[in-house]
Amino acid sequence: MTKVGVLASGHGSNFQSIIDAVKSGYLNVSIECLITNNADAFAIERAKAHGITSMAILEKDFRTKDDYYRKITTELQTLGVNLVVLAGFMKLVGKALIEAFPMRIMNIHPALLPSFKGLHAQRQALQYGGKVSGCTVHFVDEGLDTGPIIIQAAVPVLSNDTEDTLSERILKYEHEIYPRAIKLFADGALSFEGRVVKIAE
């Protein structure tokens, strides 16, 4: 069974969607832990409510960024994690973690990559005048939202959208496609041709 470690920084709604998918039987994976870089993250309450081990590992407690990510890597490896899921983890992942879990770290981004990378993707889409936005689940590499794309969902941008209304509509699709991407990984349905992720039919 795929053992999942979740990294989150805040509210953790995508974390909750993954928990719900496991509880419903849609996802046959084991959530081994939540690691957060924010001791006040609401995601911790979600973990407690479902009996999931959680730990706050704060970068300020480490001498270097490399030391910080080595600590996270050690915790995940100790628990036998083989898929790392970023659920609103608001930091660029360090090299130590990426090297330990090559093409085994997933992230979800609220835009149709490669458009609108980085923070405030919904605001970027509105300011640019985009007519379609959405969300992307991708594998993580050392770039900012540059890893191979696994699955995407498109969401129309309405003329009266604000950053909040667009974000809310996109979030509903995030909660659908993230569990689906994890299921594809757990089922062994993903393969690579170069940087292109192929999904077995």
pLDDT per position as a tens digit, 143-196 = 999 999 999 999 999 999 999 999 999 999 999 999 999 999 999 999 999 999
Alpha carbon distance, N-terminus to C-terminus of the chain: 21
Please tell me the predicted confidence (pLDDT) of residue 183: 98
- Exposed/middle/buried for residue 196 (C-beta within 10 Å: 0-12, 13-18, 19+): exposed
Q: Are residues 26 and 71 located together in one domain of the fold?
A: yes
Which pLDDT does position 175 carry in this prediction?
98
Q: 97 with 187, same domain?
A: no
Which long-range contacts (C-beta less than 8 Å, at least 24 apart) are formed by 22-29? Answer: 23/50, 26/179, 26/183, 27/179, 27/182, 27/183, 27/186, 28/1, 28/2, 28/183, 28/186, 29/1, 29/2, 29/3, 29/4, 29/83, 29/182, 29/186
56 and 115 assigned to the same domain: no
Residues 70-86 have a mean pLDDT of: 98
Q: Measured between alpha carbons, how far is 57 from 71 in angstroms, rounded to an integer? A: 8
Whole-model pTM: value is 0.96
Q: Which residues are catalytic?
A: 109
Residue 49, pLDDT > 80, answer yes
Percent of the chain with pLDDT over 90: 100
Q: Are residues 79 and 114 in the same domain?
A: no
Are 96 and 38 in the same domain? yes
Q: Does one domain contain both 49 and 22? A: yes
Question: Mean pLDDT, to the nearest integer, of 30-39?
Answer: 98
Give pLDDT, residue 20: 98
Give the pLDDT score at 168.
Answer: 97
Considering only CA atoms, which of 124, 55, 65, 50 is closest in space to residue 98? 65
**Mean pLDDT of all residues in 17-28:** 98
Last residue in a domain, options 79, 101, 123: 101
Q: Are 11 and 50 in the same domain?
A: yes
Domain that holds residue 32: 1-101
Decide which of 49, 73, 101 is a domain's last residue: 101
Residue 52 shares a structural domain with residue 93: yes
63/115 same-domain check: no
**Cis (ω within 30 of 0) for the bond into 148?**
no
Domain count of the chain?
Answer: 2
Q: Is the pLDDT of residue 201 over 90?
A: no
Cα diameter, the chain: 49
pLDDT score, position 41: 97
CATH number at residue 76: 3.40.50.170
Give yes or no: residues 80 and 1 share one domain. yes
The tokens for 91 are 């930091």
**Amino acid at the residue 64:** T
Domain final residue, candidates 33, 67, 101:
101
If asked whether residues 27 and 83 sit together in one domain, one would say: yes
**Domain match, 9 and 94 both:** yes
Model confidence pLDDT, tens digit, residues 94-136: 999 999 999 999 999 999 999 999 999 999 999 999 999 999 9
CA distance 127 to 129: 5
Tokens in use for 197? 């992720």
